[in-house]
Amino acid sequence: MQLTASHHNASYISVESFEHFIADFFCSSGAGNSSTLVFAFDTLESMTAARNLWSLHSELFFITHHTTCNSLDERAVYKAVLSWDLGSIFAVNGLQGLNNHK
């Protein structure tokens, strides 16, 4: 996994950069501009590594390029608000979509 530091404490993560650590990934839309990203990690170790790394940053943004998250041939940026389910090795991100980029 690779984090790209920006100004201050915010960091950006391309979901594509850690797809080899997850068994499944999808987005679902909520009311308004809200979405939920679900990361199903392949192992508890992968999830623990992500949690340890991601928790070091006060602001975290995910960049997606997935059909359930944004339009075809576009990328979307989402601000992270993570919760962790260690029993099912899921990380659920209830978040707000920021913008799309081609």
Total count of domains within the chain: 1
| The token pair that represents 40 in the structure block | 């199903």
For 42-85, write each residue's pLDDT tens digit: 888 888 888 888 888 778 888 888 888 877 788 888 887 777 77
Torsion sign across C-alpha atoms 5, 1, 33, 57: negative
Rg (CA), the chain: 13
Q: Can you point out the beta strands (E) in 8-74?
A: 10-14, 22-29, 34-41, 59-64
More confident residue, 78 or 87: 78
pLDDT bucket at 1, cuts 50 / 70 / 90: very low
What number of other Cβ atoms are within 10 A of residue 35's Cβ? 20
C-beta of residue 60 within 8 angstroms of C-beta of residue 10: yes
Structural domain including 60 reads: 4-101
Question: What is the pLDDT at residue 31?
Answer: 66
Q: Read off the pLDDT of each residue in 35-46 and give the average, rounded to a whole number.
A: 85
pLDDT of 16 higher than 80: yes
